[in-house]
Amino acid sequence: MTTDTSIAAGSQAVRVQQLLSAYLALTKPRIIELLLLTTLPVMFLAQGGVPPLGLVLATIVGGTLSAGSANALNCVVDADIDARMRRTRRRPLARDLITRRAGLVFGLALGVVSTLMLGALVNWLSAVLALAANVFYVVGYTIVLKPRTTQNIVWGGAAGCFPTLIGWTAVRGELGWPAVVLFLVVFFWTPPHFWALAIRYREDYADAGVPMLPAVVPTPAVARQILAYSVITVLTSLVLWPVAHTGQIYPVIALVLGAVLLHEAVQLLRRARVSDELTTLAPLRLFHFSNLYLSLLFLAVALVPFL
- One-letter amino acid for residue 184 of the chain: L
* Domain shared by 117 and 63, yes or no: yes
**Could you give the CA distance from residue 207 to residue 202 in angstroms, rounded to a whole number?**
9
* Domain shared by 169 and 31, yes or no: yes
- One-letter amino acid for residue 243 of the chain: V
What does the pLDDT read at residue 86?
83
H/E run at residue 1: none
* Domain shared by 72 and 110, yes or no: yes
* Domain shared by 78 and 107, yes or no: yes
Backbone φ and ψ of 230, nearest 5°:
-65, -40
Comparing CA positions, the residue from 194, 191, 199, 197 lying closest to residue 218 is 199
What does the pLDDT read at residue 4?
53
* Domain shared by 163 and 48, yes or no: yes
**Could you give the CA distance from residue 64 to residue 73 in angstroms, rounded to a whole number?**
14
> pTM of the entire structure?
0.93
pLDDT in tens, 119-175: 999 999 999 999 999 999 999 999 999 999 999 999 888 999 999 999 999 999 999
**Could you give the CA distance from residue 61 to residue 118 in angstroms, rounded to a whole number?**
9
* Cα angle 203, 209, 215; round to 5: 40
Q: Which residues of the chain have pLDDT under 70?
A: 1-14
Rounded to the nearest integer, the mean pLDDT of the chain is: 92
What does the pLDDT read at residue 162?
95
Residue 210: which residues within 8 A CB-CB, separation 6 or more?
Answer: 81, 146, 147, 152
What does the pLDDT read at residue 90?
85
- One-letter amino acid for residue 212 of the chain: M
Residue 104 located in a structural domain: yes
What does the pLDDT read at residue 18?
82
**Could you give the CA distance from residue 103 to residue 169 in angstroms, rounded to a whole number?**
30
* Domain shared by 39 and 110, yes or no: yes
**Under a CB-based contact definition with an 8 Å cutoff, are residues 55 and 171 in contact?**
yes
- Structural domain including 270 reads 176-307
Q: Domain boundary at 140, 173, 206, which?
A: 173
Angle between helices 100-121 and 53-77 (to 10 degrees): 160
Q: Three-class SS of residue 17?
A: helix
Residue 4 located in a structural domain: no
* Domain shared by 33 and 143, yes or no: yes
What does the pLDDT read at residue 219?
95
What does the pLDDT read at residue 276?
87
* Domain shared by 168 and 217, yes or no: no
Q: How many independent structural domains does the chain possess?
A: 2
pLDDT in tens, 217-230: 999 999 999 999 99
Q: How many CB atoms lie within 10 A of CB 180?
A: 16
**Under a CB-based contact definition with an 8 Å cutoff, are residues 165 and 129 in contact?**
yes
Residue 100: which residues within 8 A CB-CB, separation 6 or more?
Answer: 76, 79, 93
What does the pLDDT read at residue 10?
55
Residue 63 located in a structural domain: yes
What does the pLDDT read at residue 2?
55
Residue 55 located in a structural domain: yes
**Under a CB-based contact definition with an 8 Å cutoff, are residues 55 and 123 in contact?**
no
